[in-house]
Structure 1
């Protein structure tokens, strides 16, 4: 089974106030934590961004990394445009997706996704403390046409895509296996109090 990792790094981070990809935890950029978590699980890595941010990434940070700009025809259409861009660049059986705002992500969470892949499933999504996490998930190449159909519509949400797919939800039996850093308050709580949540 050929697996690719896709880091979604093209967002404007309006609630955060600056691009979250380059926020730091212990001197390392957030996007690098996402790449590090994915690397032991996948054969190749894709980071999808936009032209404004492209030159700020370390394009040689790790082996087998390809940094791509979102398809220009799909600007401002959310995370599915990033997944579509990766699928369109190279074909793999499955794409493991991560955002850039999970600097506490550990590889074992992604391994659980991979272990739950089967031929009757299109998408594997973790559920953490009752909340579904569709941007920390595994997506089959079989749904590529569904993604394009959603992106070409007026509703290009992930929820719309999932209505078309066979989705397997898996419960992660930990109170908080990772943290999304959504805004500056989260950054203050989780990054500056890092020792309290390890």
Structure 2
């Protein structure tokens, strides 16, 4: 088993992306309750276990009872890339980024991400999870280096918003995984996802 006792996350800042409108879900993702806690609070607390500084991006964290710094997107409507770029420009440090709609994201997955980032090539601008079966990357469970801001600014100026295209393979460091191991990255997009979450939550309940 991999040991995470000596992980170096001293230069990382945690970012919870919470600026989405949740139109497809029909309710505010951040306020969905899982395992007795709303998802935004859960994400903030999870990052606090990894790093010493955590921000919420996209909304006022204090409106949710959270005593953490927050910022709004400089350019709303650009999707996650807008929030990440805003944070990179404001903080100018490597960012451990997660979205606020990941009920099954576990600490080990984040620890593995940090450990992989510590072994990346110096020119790498993104450390992320890559699904072997599909080539899909988990752009919202990733670490972004400050240099990624230049690529994002250029992309937004040309109308490109998709992180998997903006952050091309040559600037990424990957952790590979199989589709059967994708549970930590399950996110809420549609009402049916809420039902799936609730059913999986029941499966995990202690007897």
TM-score band by shorter chain is 0.7 to 0.9
Structure 1 position 23 matched with structure 2 position 24: no
Contact kept, 8 Å, 1:128 with 1:175, in 2: the verdict is no
Runs of 4+ in 1 over 4 A off after TM superposition: none
Distance 1:146 1:164 in 2: 13
Q: Which deviates the most, 126-135 or 17-26? A: 126-135
User: Structure 1 length as normaliser, TM-score?
Assistant: 0.85
Find the counterpart in structure 1 of residue 182 from structure 2.
176
Contact kept, 8 Å, 1:150 with 1:160, in 2: the verdict is no
| Cα distance, 1:39–1:15 mapped onto 2, change above 3 Å | same
| Cα distance, 1:189–1:169 mapped onto 2, change above 3 Å | same
| Cα distance, 1:176–1:195 mapped onto 2, change above 3 Å | farther
Contact kept, 8 Å, 1:16 with 1:184, in 2: the verdict is yes
RMSD: 2.2
Among candidates 130, 152, 161, match of residue 156 of structure 1: 161
Among candidates 45, 66, 70, match of residue 67 of structure 1: 70
Distance 1:77 1:18 in 2: 20
Distance 1:136 1:40 in 2: 15
Distance 2:150 2:36 in 1: 40
Find the counterpart in structure 1 of residue 85 from structure 2.
84
User: Structure 2 length as normaliser, TM-score?
Assistant: 0.82
Find the counterpart in structure 2 of residue 195 from structure 1.
202
Contact kept, 8 Å, 1:146 with 1:161, in 2: the verdict is yes
Partner SS, residue 120 of structure 1: coil
Structure 2 stretches lacking a partner, 5+ long: 1-9
